Amino acid sequence: MEKPESAVAERAAEPMFKRVALIGIGLIGSSISHAARRAGLAGDIVGSAPPPEMRARAEELGLVSKAYADPVEAAKGADLVVLCTPVGAFQEIAQAIGPHLEPGSILTDVGSVKAAAIQDIAPHVPAGVHFIAGHPIAGTEQSGPDAGFAELFDGRWCILTPGEGADPSALAKLSEFWRKLGSNVEIMTPEHHDMVLAITSHVPHLIAYNIVNTASHLERVTDSEVIKFSAAGFRDFTRIAASDPIMWRDVFLNNKDAVLEMLGRFAEDLTTLQRAIRFGDGETLERLFTQARATRRGIIQAGQDTAQPDFGRRPARAKDGAQ
């Protein structure tokens, strides 16, 4: 007769989910695959992506056992389905996969806009399926199956925005999943999430895109000079302008109210700096710069960044030395 402790050990070795379906196999989807396999969280991982070359590459890299063109095929039989596409595609995908989701399964997403995502997804989720919206606050400016790596979520935050009727056990299980991927987990309302991310992520990306375009449009500065004489500030600040244009197009279209409010506040603060420079108000400039430096140092002290510049490159991996 099997000893009780052996049975407990066997159960503990079982993965959290039998089949994980990644709908989208870009930076976040591929990183979830790497981190989930590192932690032994999934019995099988499948995925879907429209481009055949992306599907072939995902299978070649071992990110998924099978990559499907149709998200419905990936979602069938999965007890965890993660939407990793641009948020603008959520409604169409949710409508397609909804009737095929397994009872008791968990449906989540990784979009950086939450109120609009919930509005697009929730109506298509059948009874018995647990939909809990989420957003891992982690990423680089890279995209595609090759961009992912297991350490992407380590020490970062994942925000979950469950609805009022969310199942507590499903929420606890998804929270534990993200913790085992390496993340810290925070629960908040979709509206609060969208306001916070508008200033910490969305507006900075918009400014980065804009400053690069401004530099390239200046007649007295050619494109080659922008590249040749890029100072550290320009390089550091504009790195995120290399991010996926489709993803960020959808972010701004789906979080426009919060983004416009934050842009208004940003414009007011920028006007204050403009006036200080125009009138030679060095005291105001020094005070505002000192406040900003303290905030930046607080981000580092909180473990959300390092003081060492890396321009988006991650540490070399022992096996191949890749950056």
Q: What is the DSSP letter of 44?
A: E
Report pLDDT for 8. 42
Higher pLDDT, 13 or 79: 79
d(CA 244, CA 323): 20
| 36, pLDDT greater than 80 | yes
CB atoms within 10 A of CB 108: 24
Contact 146, 28 (CB under 8 A): no
**Residue whose token pair is 């994980």:** 20
Cα atoms in the Cβ-side hemisphere of radius 13 Å centred on 109: 28
* Mean pLDDT, the chain, integer: 87
d(CA 62, CA 204): 34
| 47, pLDDT greater than 60 | yes
Class of residue 24 by CB neighbours under 10 A (exposed 0-12, middle 13-18, buried 19+): buried
d(CA 104, CA 121): 17
| 282, pLDDT greater than 60 | yes
Report pLDDT for 323. 29
How much of the chain exceeds pLDDT 70, in percent?
85
Q: CA 17 → CA 20, 58, 179, distances in Å? A: 7, 20, 14
Domains in the chain and their CATH numbers? 4-188 (3.40.50.720), 193-301 (1.10.3660.10)
